Structure 1
């Protein structure tokens, strides 16, 4: 049986966007991130981080530094009894026109293969237009984490203040009482 997943953006969604976070000291989870992720995990969702990290392609930091930042994220979440199932990142500069940068689906499709994920039971959470577009590109509802930058170029399926509120929306959305997968506005 395939797994359900939540594909979640890192910077600006799970963690404060430090604008090319290039050291572990700059990485800080938002206060409700761990609580929201724990709710999702407790309801059987795989937690998959999908993140563009063009700071590597821009020469601001290297992959070793990125791995250290991800280790800090994993440890910070573990302190709150939360485990992510996978972290997928695009290291390329946007001008490289690679095939993995969000909103292209390559990172998600690799996660689907690696974790036996059923996209029909999955969601995307993010704070950028590319996250909403990713959801549309893979056929999953997308929840916008609104920090006052919301636009309706490609309308999200739902809007939340943080990961905790997004998790609560997902649980309600997938509730049999409401009817699985009905679009929430």
Structure 2
């Protein structure tokens, strides 16, 4: 495994059905930033996030970049970073090629790092995250933060790796991956 791809809302930061529309509303989930800093020691870390709030007119790309700047500053304080960010700004009705579960964001991440899908692991909390990983043929971990519990019910018939949070994922599964690489 070379690249860990994270969904943002519900995995790194708290999610809201009313959307995360401002820098003040962007609040990290406990332990997620330290988990990313820990991942940085052995993997490249990227984000693939649907941000339809832009297409819906709730906020603009400038605000999104401000949220990411806040995240980067908070990560820097923990010795961590995000190596690459892909986002889909489109409304679900726009018919774009980048909105998960379509795979364009993962394709762009793979191209950026020059890796094969099997060298990537996607961590998400939604059915569209799972389907995106399946469509791209990369491994997937469902976290129970964000929409994870609801997603677990939706995917009850699927074989899944499920973790409590990004923090527990970094402590468990990723350590197992590192042992396999040695």
**Structure 1 79/92 Cα, relative in aligned 2: closer, same or farther at 3 Å?**
same
TM-score (normalizing by structure 1): 0.87
Aligned ranges for residues 78-157 of structure 1 at < 5 Å? Answer: 78-147=76-145, 148-149=149-150, 150-151=152-153, 152=155, 155=158, 157=160
The range that moved more, 22-31 or 32-41, is 32-41
Segments ≥4 residues shifted beyond 4 Å: none
Give the root-mean-square deviation of aligned CA atoms: 1.7
Given the alignment of the two structures, is residue 158 of structure 1 paired with residue 167 of structure 2, yes or no?
Answer: no
User: Is contact 1:132-1:155 (8 Å) kept?
Assistant: no
Structure 2 unaligned regions, length at least 5: none
TM-score (normalizing by structure 2): 0.89
Q: What is the aligned partner in structure 2 of residue 183 from structure 1?
A: none
In 2, Cα distance between equivalents of 1:134 and 1:54? 16
Structure with a larger share of its residues in helix: 2
3-state secondary structure, aligned to 2:101: coil
Structure 1 unaligned regions, length at least 5: 181-185
User: How many residues align structurally?
Assistant: 174
Shift of 1:22: 1.1
